[in-house]
Amino acid sequence: MVGAPGAGKGTQAEIISHRLGVPHIASGDLFRAAVNDGSPLGREVKRYMERGALVPDELTIRVISERLNAPDAVDGAILDGFPRTRAQAEALDKMLSQRGAAVAAAIYVEVGLDELMRRLSGRWVCRGAEHVYHEVFRPPRRPGVCDFDGSELYQRPDDRLETVRARLERQLPPMYEVVDHYTDRGVILPVRGDGTIEQVTEDVMRQIAQPARRG
């Protein structure tokens, strides 16, 4: 899943991974877990994340490659937030081709800037498993508590306005290169991300059914 910060990648990846029965692998979630553990990886990535910068490619590729080697990912995965640069996309192609696999679809969730700001400023996530909420568009049943695991909800420090601006400024140009990369390979599937969560899911499901029909 490719898209700007706040486009709804994580929200959709969570739903679609359940529908397809494959794991949801989010690079941002892996990095936040490392930061929370206080591991050497966490200490290394924290300084990039808090500035809204991308974590260096080499490190990011290593973390994702290890995760993709886990047994639950043998039949595929929904990758959310990775790849975010052309070098990451090329590394992923290589990783997959070594197993006789390839990226089946790059779902590109497109959302306008004003809506991204509304989504990021109202986002709350749970401490237990990073379930995603929005104070207006996807409120939890009980304020401040996750519907699924009862854990506390918090606002990500990088969703503060100055960091959001830095993330968009630094991360959108390389994201467009990733979009170009998958466009050139004929696997880009653009979806309108500005509908309701349910509308976007249905659009994604329709789009991913199409290559299978063509094939």
Residues that bind ligand AMP (CB under 6 A): 5, 27-28, 31, 48-49, 52-55, 60, 81-84, 88, 158, 167
Catalytic, 138? Answer no
Q: With contact defined as beta carbons under 8 Å apart, do 92 and 112 qualify?
A: no
Q: Which stretch binds ligand ADP (CB under 6 A): 92-100, 145-153, 178-186, 192-200?
A: 192-200
Supply the Cα-derived Rg of the chain in whole angstroms: 17
Among positions 84, 131, 138, 181, the unique one binding ligand ADP when judged by CB under 6 A: 138
Among the options 118, 156, 160, 170, which is catalytic? Answer: 156
Q: Which is nearer to ligand AMP, 8 or 81 (CB)?
A: 81
Q: Which is nearer to ligand ADP, 32 or 123 (CB)?
A: 123
Phi-psi region of 150 (alpha: psi -120 to 50; beta: other; left: phi over 0): left
Q: What is the closest distance, in whole angstroms, from the C-beta atom of residue 204 to ligand AMP in the complex?
A: 17
Tokens of 164: 């959001």
Residues 6 or more apart from 147 whose CB is under 8 A from it?
A: 131, 140, 141
Catalytic, 9? Answer yes
Question: What is Dmax (Cα atoms) for the chain?
Answer: 47
Catalytic, 160? Answer no
Q: For residue 148, how far is the Cα from the chain centroid?
A: 20
Length of the chain, in residues: 215
Q: Using CB under 6 A, list all residues that contact ligand ADP.
A: 3, 5-11, 119, 122-123, 132-134, 137-138, 195-197, 200
